[in-house]
Chain A
Amino acid sequence: MSERDLDALLEDCTQCGLCREVCIVEALGAHSITSLLCGEEQYSSWLCSSCWRCQEVCPQGVDIHAIIMEMRREEEPPPGHEANLVNVLRSGYALPVDSGVNSSRILHSLEPVQLIPAKWLEILLQGREGGKTRG
């Protein structure tokens, strides 16, 4: 993301700090995007519980989620997130759905999972902008 794009998203932020006050990551002693919003340099856009509380309390209506998503595309992803991405690209689900999963489902009287056809997944995720998908 260019500095101009980030500036546009941050335009209405007054650095009041309410987002940081309600952030679980900050309460645990680590630094989330809310530290960036408060002018700090030490933070990670990946340290987020996706609870949306920061955005909900923001009196200025800053789209903090959009900032996180934009920043993440420029920061190195943690292995857990990368693994989920690879799984979605392979099978359509973030966690592997194999025969063991279906056996367990049958034991619980649930129908087996019918995965998305590989060709459909390719169309949905590659399309004309295939280069945008990392992983």
Chain B
Amino acid sequence: MQRMALFPGCLVLQRMPQYEKATKRVLTELDVHLENIPHAACCGAPLESFTDRWLHLAAYNLALAERLGRDILTLCGNCTNTLLRAKAALDEPSLRSEVNETLDEIGLRFEGRTTVKHLVELFTGHVEDLREKVTGELSVRVAVTHPCQALRPHEISSFDDPLEPRAMRRIVELTGAEVVDYDAEFDCCGSTLYLADEGLGLEAGRRKLASAAQADVLVDACGNCQLLLERFRPGMGTSAATGRMVVLTLPQVLGLAMGIDPGELGVGPASARELSRRSS
């Protein structure tokens, strides 16, 4: 059994327990056991625009996982990016020493032993296991949207092409679903932009959904993407087609293809019905 420390991040913790639930359920099938990190905090990303102390918060989370002796699994692009950049920055001896002085006050130490993996990277390392576990073919057309911040910059993330990623597509293809191309596939969803300008963020999301309109399902692997493309969709004035498109997270789609009950994956009855209608 592989054990990892789960770092869901603010958004998933607060707004989408379904994503965390589906992740844990599906990874059980792959014999990966996740444990939440007691007393974990924000990755540090929202602080970085204001203060250099973001690095201390990121290092704190890394040190907590290190104390547990676990590598970290992330579900959001932004957390992945921030924790990986912090880890790289802390290679610098004087910075590490400064951060460790602070961590020492709360009985922690950062040694750089914990690795940080996004869910897509973890699944990529378990492709053969996934192939064995997928029992039914999903006869739907799927558009994939990539967790862009987990893939860039390439100096800190190397499991996929940073500009034209393929890893998620290969994972979804295991389900038997037809993965469709669409113009906005590699565009950001706009979720982080929404924080600064709601109208621009929603317009980015609307364009993405409209571009993917030929698909039955849009699949993401990031709390930010799921928030904007699924929860905030009513604010986009989308067309009827994109408005009915089912927006799911990657483990939910994999779980359905494994024959797991939608309820165990946090897939609501309306989405389950729409999926069933589209796949019949």
Residues of A within 8 A of B (CB): 24-25, 27-28, 30, 44, 46-53, 55-57, 65, 69, 72-73, 77-78, 80-81, 84-85, 87-88, 92-97, 101, 104-105, 107-111, 113-117, 119-121, 123-125, 127, 129, 132-135
Do the beta carbons of B50 and A133 come within 8 Å of each other? yes
Contact partner of B13 (CB less than 8 A), chosen from A73, A87, A97, is A97
* Contact between chains at B149 and A24 (CB < 8 Å): no
CB distance from B107 to the nearest CB of A (A): 9
**Complex-state Cα separation, A108 to B269, whole angstroms:** 15
B165 to chain A, nearest CB (A): 11
B56, A125: Cβ atoms under 8 Å?
A: yes
Partner of B42 from the list A55, A88, A104, A114 (CB cut-off 8 Å) is A88
Which residues from A are CB-within-8-Å of B78?
Answer: 50
> 12 new A-B pairs (CB below 8 Å) besides A97-B14, A114-B38?
A24-B204, A28-B207, A49-B190, A50-B78, A52-B149, A53-B188, A85-B50, A95-B11, A101-B13, A104-B17, A108-B17, A120-B106
Min distance, Cβ B255 to any Cβ of chain A, angstroms: 14
Chain B residues in the interface with A (C-beta under 8 A): 10-11, 13-15, 17-18, 20-21, 24, 36, 38-42, 45-53, 56-57, 60, 78, 81, 102, 105-106, 148-149, 152-154, 162-163, 187-197, 200-201, 203-204, 207, 266
B193 near A24: Cβ-Cβ < 8 Å: yes
The winner among A30, A49, A57, A107 for most chain B CB atoms within 10 A is A49
Complex CA gap A129/B203 in Å reads 39
Pair B196/A48 contact, Cβ less than 8 Å:
yes
Distance of A127 Cα from B99 Cα, bound (Å): 10
Tell me how far the C-beta of B191 lies from the nearest C-beta in chain A, rounded to whole angstroms.
7
Nearest chain A residue, comparing its CB with the CB of B43: A94
Whether A28 and B195, one on each chain, are in contact in the complex, defined by CB atoms closer than 8 angstroms, is no
With A47-B196, A55-B152, A92-B42: A110-B17 Cβ-Cβ less than 8 Å:
yes
Q: What's the least CB distance linking A22 to chain B, in Å?
A: 9
A/B interface sample: 18 pairs, CB < 8 A: A30-B200, A48-B193, A50-B78, A51-B192, A53-B148, A57-B163, A72-B50, A84-B46, A85-B46, A88-B41, A95-B14, A95-B15, A108-B17, A115-B41, A116-B40, A117-B39, A124-B56, A132-B51
Residues of chain A lying within 8 A (CB to CB) of residue B11: 94-95
Cβ of B266: which chain A residues have Cβ within 8 Å of it?
108
What 8 A-B pairs are tightest by C-beta distance, nearest first? A92-B41, A51-B188, A52-B152, A80-B195, A84-B46, A95-B14, A49-B193, A108-B17
CB pair B152–A81 under 8 Å, yes or no, is no
Chain B contact residues: helix, strand, loop or mixed: helix
Partner of B10 from A81, A85, A93 at Cβ < 8 Å: A93
Q: Cβ of A56: which chain B residues have Cβ within 8 Å of it?
A: 152-154, 162-163
Given A51-B149, A52-B81, A52-B148: A93 touches B41 (CB 8 Å cut-off): yes
Name the residue on A nearest B35 (C-beta). A111
Q: Nearest chain-B residue to A89 (Cβ)?
A: B47
B106 touches A69 (CB 8 A): no
Q: Does B39 contact A81, Cβ atoms closer than 8 Å?
A: no
Find A123's partner among B14, B102, B149, B201 (CB 8 Å cutoff): B102
Q: A84 to B17, alpha carbons, bound, how many Å?
A: 20
**With A56-B153, A92-B41, A134-B51 in contact, is A81–B102 under 8 Å at CB?**
no
B204–A49 contact, CB under 8 A?
yes
Inter-chain CA distance A107–B20, complex, in Å, is 13
Which residues of chain A have C-beta atoms less than 8 A from B47's C-beta?
Answer: 85, 88, 125, 133
Q: Do residues B192 and A127 form an inter-chain contact, with CB atoms below 8 A?
A: no
Determine if A81 and B49 form an interchain contact, defined as CB atoms under 8 angstroms apart.
yes
Query: Which of A50, A55, A87, A134 has the most chain B CB atoms inside 10 A of its CB?
Result: A50
A35 → B minimal CB distance (Å)? 14
**Which residues of the partner chain B approach A92 to less than 8 Å between Cβ atoms?**
41-42, 57
